[in-house]
Amino acid sequence: MAYGDWLLLKREDNIATITLNHPETLNLVNWQLLEEMDEIQNEIEKDESTRAIIINANGDHFSAGIDLHILEKVNSQFVMKNLNWLQRVYGRWQEWNIPVIAAIHGLCYGSAMELILGCDIRIAAEDSRFAIPEVRFALSPDMGGTTRLTKLVGVGQAKRLIMGCEEINAQEAYNIGLVEIVVKREELMDRSLKLAKRMVNLPPAAIAFAKKGINLAGESSVTAGLLFEQAQSTFCCGTQDQNESIRAFFEKRKPEFKGC
C-alpha cells in the first residue's frame, strides 16, 4: 500500500522525518496508520542514505492514542494473529543502526506513548501531556508499554502511570526520565533537527555500535556489555573513518566519513 494519508515522509540532509498527519482526529492510531508506518519502515530500510529519523506530528497534539473503534472489533484470535507484527512496528526502530528521535507536543496517550518508548531519544515541548491509560479500558499495554516504560523510568513509576492511569506533564516526564529534553513549543523541531544533524555528521559505524552497546547494556549483564565493547573496539580501531576523524581534528577541518 502507499502511504501519505495518515503519515507523511520527508527526506532532507540524510534525515527522514515521519509526520503523523490527521490532526482533525488528534492523530489517533488506527490500522491504516500502522500499515503506513510499516510501509515507510520498509522503504527506509532499503535507503542507505538515511542516517537519522525524526517522528513528529501535525496539529495541536502528537497523538491521543489508539482509535477505540479498533478495540470494539478485537478478540483473542485477532491478537494471536496480529500482535507480533504490531509489536514489531513499534520495536523496529531499535533494530536499526541509526538514531530515532521522537518530537512530542500536546497529548501523547496510550499507543502513542508506546510509539515514543520504542524511539532512542524523546524531546518534548513544554505543553506535552503523557498518559498510558489502557487499564481503564480493561487492558494492559501490549505494544511495549509495560516492558519499555519499566526499563526507562523504573518499576514504581511504571506502576503508577500504568496501573493508576495518571497523566503527567512534560516537566514531570523529564524528572522521571520518560523524556530526555524539554523545550518551548516553537523550538521543538529546531532542537530535534539540531540533534539529528549532529548525529548524522558523526561516524556511522561508531553511532551504530554505540546504539547497540547501550541497548545491550540495558538488557544484559555487565560482563556481556563489556564483551560487546571489546568486539566493537576491535572493529572500529584502525578503520578509515577513525583515521579520518583524527586527521580532521588535527587539521582543523570537517571530516568526511565513508562508513568504513
**Which pLDDT value is given to residue 243?**
85
- For residue 220, pLDDT over 90 is answered with no
Asked if 114 is an active-site residue, the reply is yes
Average pLDDT (4-25) is 95
238-254 pLDDT, tens digit each: 888 888 888 888 888 88
**Over the chain, what is the mean pLDDT?**
93
Asked if 134 is an active-site residue, the reply is yes
Domains of the chain, residue spans:
7-200, 204-251
For 256, half-sphere exposure in the C-beta direction (CA atoms, 13 angstrom radius) is: 0
Q: Element (H or E) spanning 193, and its range?
A: helix 188-200
- The residue ranking higher by pLDDT, 57 or 235, is 57
Among 24, 39, 114, 229, the active-site one is 114
- For residue 2, pLDDT over 80 is answered with no
What is the number of residues in the chain? 260
Average pLDDT (192-214) is 96
| Residues contacting 78, CB < 8 A, separation 6+ | none
- For residue 197, pLDDT over 90 is answered with yes
Place of cell 490527521: 22
58-69 pLDDT, tens digit each: 999 999 999 988
Residue 227 has what DSSP assignment?
H
**Which pLDDT value is given to residue 87?**
94
**Which pLDDT value is given to residue 76?**
85
71-125 pLDDT, tens digit each: 777 788 888 888 899 999 999 999 999 999 999 999 999 999 999 999 999 999 9
| Banded model confidence at residue 50, pLDDT cuts 50, 70, 90 | very high
Q: Element (H or E) spanning 210, and its range?
A: helix 204-219
Average pLDDT (195-218) is 95
DSSP string, 30-44: -HHHHHHHHHHHHHH
Answer CATH for 7-200 from 3.90.226.10, 3.30.479.30, 2.40.30.270, 3.40.50.970: 3.90.226.10
**Amino acid in position 159:** K
**Which pLDDT value is given to residue 70?**
82
176-190 pLDDT, tens digit each: 999 999 999 999 999
Cβ atoms of residues 63 and 26 within 8 Å: yes
- For residue 45, pLDDT over 80 is answered with yes
CA distance 169 to 28: 20
Cβ atoms of residues 206 and 222 within 8 Å: no
- For residue 131, pLDDT over 90 is answered with yes
CA distance 8 to 29: 14
- For residue 146, pLDDT over 90 is answered with yes
Among 12, 24, 134, 167, the active-site one is 134
Average pLDDT (207-217) is 95
Tell how far CA 244 is from the center of its chain: 30
**Which pLDDT value is given to residue 51?**
97
- What the block records as the C-alpha cell of 86 is 504490531
CATH number of 204-251: 1.10.12
- What the block records as the C-alpha cell of 76 is 483473542
